[in-house]
Structure 1
Amino acid sequence: MDKDFKTKISKALGDDVLRGALGRFGDAYILARAKAYEGYDFDALSENIVQVKSYAANHIDEMMDQFEKAATARGAKVYRAATATDAKKYVSDLVKKKGIKRIVKSKSMVSEEILLNDDLIADGIDVQETDLGEWIVQLAGQHPSHMVLPAIHMTKEEVATTFSGHLKRVEQPVIAELVKTARVELRKKFLEAEMGISGANIAVAETGTLMMLTNEGNGRLTNTLPPTQVFLVGMEKFVPKFEDAQHIIQALPKSATGQLITSYVTMITGPTPAYYADGTIKDKDFHIVIIDNGRRKMFNDEKFKKTFQCVRCASCLNVCPAFQLLGGHVYGHIYTGGIGTILTNFVNSERDAKNPQNLCLQCGKCTEVCPGKLDIPQMILELRNRMGEKDGIGAVPKFALDVVSNRRLFHSMLRVASLAQLPFSKGQPVIRHLPMFLSGLTEQKSLPTVAKVPFRDVIKKVKQEVKNPKGKVALYAGCLIDFVYPKIGEGIIAGLNEKGYEVVFPDGQSCCGAPATYMGDRKNARKCAVMNIEALEAEKVDYVVSGCPTCTHALIDSFKELVEDDPALLARAEELSRKSRDFSKLLFDLGGLPAGGDGVPMKITYHDSCHLKRSMGVFAEPRKILTDTAGVELIEMKESDRCCGFAGSYSIKFPEISGPILDRKMKNIEETGADFVVVDCPGCLMQIGGGLDKKNPKIKVIHTAELLLEKRKNSKKKNKK
């Protein structure tokens, strides 16, 4: 990651206007989208889109042949462009052949992708964007910052200033007046234009029909008024039949802007007639350019084939915590956000995607709202790992991950750290200040200290009184429970003992490899996977339990992928996957704990871990377990499942982004009036606990397992008295 990119991040974070505009839209979008989908089965609608688009992807050449035959029969000229250069040359040659000097454009991110405007303007052509947002950014000398809302990053005051500079007259920052100005200025451009260039949201193979979903009349004016029409269509826009388009038409507006339907749904099947001043009537010159430009390579890659299911709604951008802070001019190249990063890697270059891919938090919120059911975070991880294998991840991160994947060395260093930290902790359980170049790590939050006695030593002294055991559970602690929060481990043992299960702790376990995975070091991630598969010996226990959802995700999903090249290891990884559960989930599945607790009133709120809720679908279970505990009152917080900003190494790599995300979480916590925040993730505990220690130490953070341990311990003490 280069210094210039870090500078862009700092500039965006310091732009209150940008953050305000993106934040207001993000908040409004969530409500609007939910309202738009009322009465609709989002999962069923998404599944229809997946079926239609995946079929098209698997029959892409057949789709294009069928489309070309149908479109040509209706008077269109169809050209297939293998590269951006091919597409630009086709349009440029057409412009020169017909002597065109004035062009109007609408609804075409593909033209941005291939930088078509730059080439045409260099040839002396007057190229005019006519979408209001596109026109604004064109006048401002920028590229779109969002795939659906190109000028979302600009306020009405900035737009007024841009208009005033272009028109050489003062424009007031009144939205209705600015729209009126745009209408007056652009209308004459439509009438003068000799060529119209448009994009398309859908291309129907069966009929040769192009469909556009728009909220402005400029789209129709662009593809009806000029005598020469050119449509630029990416290969991913195909659907087999006319009725297949209905699923996208239903989902796209709701997911893009929270609308039930766009103002205009335009369907173009062949050229429309042109009426000339001499009274003659003849069809317009109608061209369709189908563009590959890296798409086929993307679709042929098994890890990225599902990108064909993207309908370009940009809902993934609208809910992304990082995008809401930085905008598309930082988080993106031409295409923006998480999906934009993936597209950029294939249709532009790996170099253009390298910096933006770092910004993904892996929170999974984008996957939750995607109507094409794309696992965007997983695809970004794949990019990250490929880049890491090709270019390396840097000397310092590589050294750190080499240490982490060496169990004996790593654990020895953590034991040394428990003593070395004393000058910084001053005897407290947290470190509030670090010196010099490390100071940024404690600017927004405190850090927990390494435990004096790690859990792997604590468990040797824990008495497990289980009469007639029902079975045996292996406890996988991960780094934080083992060396920072051993009390959580004690809570897990107590809960499972009460359910009749003996808990064992395999000494050979170590880091789950998530830090290596999320930093693009597949080699060290695999080393960690192998080490833990062999140590945990899932074949010998009934369950493997973890108190960290990130670790549980690794046990269930990541390990299998990392060892898939070794059949013997893969079989063991699959056994481990089948038996692995997160603590709250396992306790719930075992019937929960009998009603109990000390009955002392305790007002709590609950924060959902990203991995627990979105990767494993565990949401109601911990709430049920907590509210069954005597005295516990649960107050739901706003955005309980919004990322806290920890994201593993992300909070170290990007503390300036992690900090504002944490601030929002703390604000939501404070608004509940709760005394405790309960979490099921040690990473979230570390992040939220550190933030509250700095800014509101009255509110405490506790893991579900630890809360149950304390409440039931206190109850036993009461009963003894």
Structure 2
Amino acid sequence: MTSSSPFKKSVETAISNPKLSQALHLFGDAYLIARKQAFAGLDFEAMREELATIKDEVRIHRKKLLVQFISNAEKAGSKVFLARDTKEANDYVIELARKKKAKLIAKSKSMVSEEAHLNKALEAAGIRAAETDLGEWIVQLAGQRPSHMVMPAIHMFKEDVARLFSRETGENLAAEIKTLVDVARNRLRKEYFDADIGLTGANFLIAETGGIGLVTNEGNARLCATLPKTHVVFAGIHKLVRSMEDAVKITRLLPRNATGQLLTSYVTWIRGAVPAGDEPKEQHIILIDGGREDLYQSQACQDALRCIQCGACANVCPVYQTVGGHVFGSIYISAIGIILTAFYEGLDKAKELTRACIGCRSCSAVCPAGIDLEEIILHLRNMVTEKYGMGVIKNVAFKAIMKNRTLFHSMVKAASKLQKPLTGKDDDSSPPVIRHLPMHFMSRDYTEWRDLPSIAEKSFREQFDLIEQQVENPRYTVGIFIGCGADFVYPESGLALVRVLNYLNVKVVFPEGQNCCGIPALYAGDNETGIYLAKQSVQAFSEVRVDYVLSLCPTCTMGVKRDFFKRLKDYPEWREKAADLSEKTMDAARFLEEILNSTEEIRKAPRAREKITYHDSCHLKRGNGVWKEPRNLLEAAGYTIDEMKNSDRCCGFGGTYSFLSHPQISKQITLDKVAAIRQTGVKTVAMDCPGCMIMLKGAMGKADKTVRCVHTVELLEEILKKRVNNR
């Protein structure tokens, strides 16, 4: 297939280099283990709530704190310059260098200097910039930019570095870590002594002292700050903190969340010019806005400036691990990079990045500042859609078809008939699947590596009234928000849930007026359609009396609980109805476990006695906080769960992401999950999301047809059915 944009071409290039993904996966897997150990015995949630409060206080009082910092820094002998943008910051450094007749600036790691393209500006002015951070020096030699905020050269193997160093030294160097580190140490040490100016970033700008804090793993930052006669601090205004106490609290989180270390090798506090023998010393602090004030003033996005640049959002991101930071980022990478790119470089620069996010919420779960990165990215995606549109296919699908419930359902019904020439079955018990599409679609990478699910001949809504619910004196009456996947693709899951609930003496109702939860439209940036669909379903459920509303799809559960209310809270006639529906809604597994306490009843049924594995759906675990409940239910039914590697890593579905946005990225993420499943050796993998079933059933259909992918409620229904039949 010919790519339609430079961004998609860069995706293809990255995917064609399997070593890149291998390097990032190796680090990502090791990171998860190290991070878990680093936070052992600590309350991460409490720590990040405290950090969020610290950073929010800075945002609220930033102007006062900025004045306080400048005053105290100047009292300590520092010279402070406020730069409106990166050009002003660069110009200050260049002018300073000219005054000092400086020809060499030794730099320690500074992301804001990358943002400013400072090295290029210095080179154009005839001033050499020497990167002294090992990773930064490597990418400088390679003519690249960092691919990670903390580990700039994480995308490279030692063999790559050996080739670079051999070219630089003129020697044939072995690809051995010690050899390469020794070369770097010997080459870089000279730069500190020869440099006229040393330049560092700052992790903290401490208002109460006017000093700075540096958190590093190499000694180069201290050397850059101390050995040259002039020390330049290059920092964004968002690095302000109120006090040393706040800065120390952040240092407890930063290394643990960045690299899994309890503490970095060097934590350095500097106030004023560091003494350098008898010679006079200067410190110049350049404070850069560069779009930060605009970000502070954005109600929807301002939390992004809580970021302490730990890079964890990249460490756990399946998209980053697939294509790397040179694709999934600009200067700043991964989830936080999307947001900062939009504000620091412009929405146009971030347009493709917003659409490359798969929405798995891994970033939000790991963020030490409690930033809901996915939610901010969705807001930016809506801005992108308003400005640039979302494409003809999505435009027609959402605005013309989904809004019209009757038309939508009629078209689905028609498609179930038209698909028949393309469908096939393995046996009489399995639902039909689409194994091959015409060549145009094959070139789109749709069915080469996965089967596609067929649309069910009869939807859940068509079959619901045929169920005989023999429930006397029910414990509860619940409504089902079925969602498109369980309604039109896997109605057997919905039917299984009704039977399970009936076995447990719960009556089920199904409001036919409900429509799609609207998440596909919302994720495409179409907020207008999302609001319209929310009103349809809220109205449908307001017309029935139920104790709870259950969903088999965690994305739908998030939509009903969170997004319906968010979309409708400014509509007085809808606010109360949406809030009532939100309070009643929960995932089916949570209801079975927490409300019904059904494990004891399930244990009374014949035991399954089968070893299975379990896949945690992204929006179930990280969106709804449900992961223990399905396991408890399955174990009560007699299943032994053999945990797969990284059970909560995304399956690659992402709704339209895997079909329209980035099927190639999706494919790689899915194949990682398939490998993890196959490594367990089990023949059944349970999950609680129809979207994940679409992806994993399809991929396993090509990889290993003997592995069954099934919704948890279907396994429970099989067990409870045996109990009823044995009575």
- TM-score clears 0.5: yes
SS of the aligned residue for 1:604 comes to strand
**Map of 1:113 onto structure 2:** 115
Q: Cα offset for 1:2?
A: 5.1
Partner of 2:657: 650
CA shift for structure 1 position 539: 6.4
3-state SS, counterpart of residue 423 of structure 1: helix
CA distance in structure 1 between the partners assigned to 2:522 and 2:440 by the alignment: 26
Q: Secondary structure at the match of 1:646?
A: coil
Aligned with residue 474 of structure 2, among 456, 469, 472? 469
C-alpha distance in 1, partners of 2:629/2:521? 30
Contact kept? 2:147, 2:324, Cα under 8 Å:
yes
**2:571 pairs with one of 562, 566, 569:** 566
The answer for the alignment partner of 1:278 in structure 2 is none
Q: Is the 8 A contact 1:538 1:575 kept in 2?
A: no
Q: How does 1:280-319 map to 2 (within 5 A)?
A: 281-319=278-316
CA shift in 2, pair 1:600/1:270, >3 Å: closer
Q: Distance in 2 between matches of 1:145 and 1:694?
A: 34
Superposed, which structure 2 residues align to 1:151-550 within 5 Å? 151-275=153-277, 281-402=278-399, 403-426=401-424, 429-439=432-442, 440-537=445-542, 540-550=545-555
Please say if residues 519 and 556 of structure 2, whose CA atoms lie closer than 8 Å, have aligned partners that are also in contact. yes
Letter in 2 for 1:371: P
- SS of structure 1 residue aligned to 2:82: strand
How far does the alpha carbon of each residue in 1:406-464 deviate from its partner, in whole angstroms, 9 at most, with x for none?
Answer: 21111111101111111100466111111122222112211111111111110111001
Counterpart amino acid of residue 243 in structure 2: K
| Separation (CA, whole Å) in 1 of partners of 2:641 and 2:100 | 71
Aligned-partner SS, 2:411:
helix
User: Any idea what SS the aligned residue of 2:471 has?
Assistant: coil
Q: CA deviation at 1:47?
A: 2.1
Deviations 1:144-187 (A, max 9, x none): 00000001111111111112223333222222111111111112
Distance 1:325 1:354 in 2: 19
Q: What is the CA-CA distance between 1:339 and the residue it aligns to?
A: 0.6
SS in 2 for 1:163: helix
1:647-690 deviations in whole A, cap 9, x for unaligned? 11111122211122112212222222322111111111111111
One-letter amino acid of the counterpart of residue 341, structure 1: I
- Partners of 2:182 and 2:279 lie apart in 1 by 33
Q: Is the 8 A contact 2:424 2:435 kept in 1?
A: no
Which secondary structure state, in structure 1, belongs to the residue aligned with residue 226 of structure 2?
coil
Equivalent of residue 701 in structure 2, options 693, 708, 719: 693
Partner of 2:50: 48
Rounded Cα–Cα distance in structure 2 between residues aligned with 1:501 and 1:104: 71
The whole-number CA distance in structure 2 between the counterparts of 1:418 and 1:43 is 47
* One-letter amino acid of the counterpart of residue 688, structure 1: L
Q: Distance in 2 between matches of 1:196 and 1:513?
A: 53
Cα separation, 2, equivalents of 1:19 and 1:638? 17
Distance 1:407 1:333 in 2: 41
Percentage of pairs with the same residue: 44
1:634 to 629, 641, 646: 641
Distance 1:233 1:539, change over 3 A: farther
TM-score by length of 1: 0.96
One-letter code aligned to 2:441: L
Question: 2:106 touches 2:198 (CA, 8 Å); kept in 1?
Answer: yes
Residue identity in the other structure for 2:417: L
Please, which moves more after superposition, 306-315 or 90-99? 90-99
| 1:107/1:200 contact within 8 Å kept | no
* Aligned residue in 2 for 1:102: 104
CA displacement at 1:318 relative to structure 2: 0.6
CA distance in 1, matches of 2:713, 2:588: 8
1:79-98 matches, within 5 Å, as 79-98=81-100
Taking structure 2 as the reference length, what is the TM-score of the superposition?
0.96
Q: Structure 2 counterpart of 1:408, which letter?
A: T
State the Cα distance separating 1:579 from its structure 2 match. 0.7
Q: Is the partner of 1:687 in helix, strand or coil?
A: helix
**Secondary structure, aligned partner of 1:465:** coil
Range moving further from structure 2, 582-591 or 531-540: 531-540
Q: What is the Cα deviation at residue 392 of structure 1? A: 0.9
Show CA shifts across 1:24-75 (max 9, x none): 1111111111112223222222222112111111110111111111110010
Unmatched 5+ residue regions in structure 1?
A: 276-280
How many Å separate the matches in 2 of 1:600 and 1:324?
A: 37
Q: Which amino acid aligns with 1:671?
A: Q
Partner of residue 717, structure 1: 725
Amino acid at match of 2:547: D
Q: Which amino acid aligns with 1:670?
A: R
Residue of structure 1 equivalent to 2:598: 592
Indicate conservation of the 8 Å contact 1:676/1:702, yes or no: yes
Distance in 1 of aligned mates of 2:237 and 2:531: 36
Cα deviation code 1:458-513 (max 9, x no counterpart):
01110011102344222111111111111111112122223333211111112111
Give the stretch that moved more between structures: 342-351 or 44-53. 44-53
**Deviates further, 530-539 or 281-290:** 530-539
The alignment yields a C-alpha RMSD, in angstroms, of: 1.5
Q: Which whole-Å CA distance do the structure 2 matches of 1:716 and 1:495 have between them? A: 11
Match of residue 668 from structure 1 = 676
Q: Determine helix, strand or coil for the equivalent of 1:103.
A: strand
From the superposition, tell whether residues 18 and 600 of structure 1 become closer, same or farther in structure 2 (CA, over 3 Å). closer
| 3-state DSSP of counterpart to 1:441 | coil
Is the Cα–Cα contact under 8 Å of residues 338 and 350 in structure 2 kept in the other structure? Answer: yes
Q: 1-side partners of 2:327 and 2:423: how far apart?
A: 37
Alpha-carbon distance in 1 for matches of 2:548, 2:40: 40
Give structure 2 stretches of 5+ with no counterpart: 426-430
Q: Distance in 1 between matches of 2:547 and 2:320?
A: 43
* Whole-angstrom distance in 2 between the partners of 1:592 and 1:716: 15
Q: CA deviation at 1:282?
A: 4.3
**CA distance in structure 1 between the partners assigned to 2:21 and 2:681 by the alignment:** 27
More moved, 571-580 vs 558-567:
558-567
Query: Residue 705 of structure 2 aligns to which amino acid in structure 1?
Result: P
- What residue is the counterpart of 2:136 in the other structure? 134
Q: Is the 1:603–1:674 contact (alpha carbons within 8 Å) kept by the matching residues of 2?
A: yes
Cα 1:217–1:8 change in 2 (3 A) is same
Alignment partners' CA distance in 1, 2:543 and 2:28:
44
C-alpha distance after superposition, 1:219-249 (max 9, x if no partner): 1111111111110111111111111111111
The amino acid across from 1:354 in the alignment is K
4+ residue segments displaced more than 6 Å: none
Distance 1:410 1:96, change over 3 A: same
Give CA-to-partner distance per residue, 1:522-575, whole Å, 9 cap, x none: 111111111111122276321111111111110000111122331111221111
Kept in 2: contact 1:538–1:579 (CA 8 A): no
Going from structure 1 to structure 2, the CA distance change for 1:253 and 1:600 (only over 3 Å counts) comes to: closer
List per-residue Cα deviations over 1:203-225 (Å, max 9, x = no partner): 11100111111111111111111
The worse-fitting range, judged by mean Cα deviation, of 701-710 and 102-111 is 701-710
With 346-355 and 422-431 compared, the bigger mean Cα shift is at 422-431
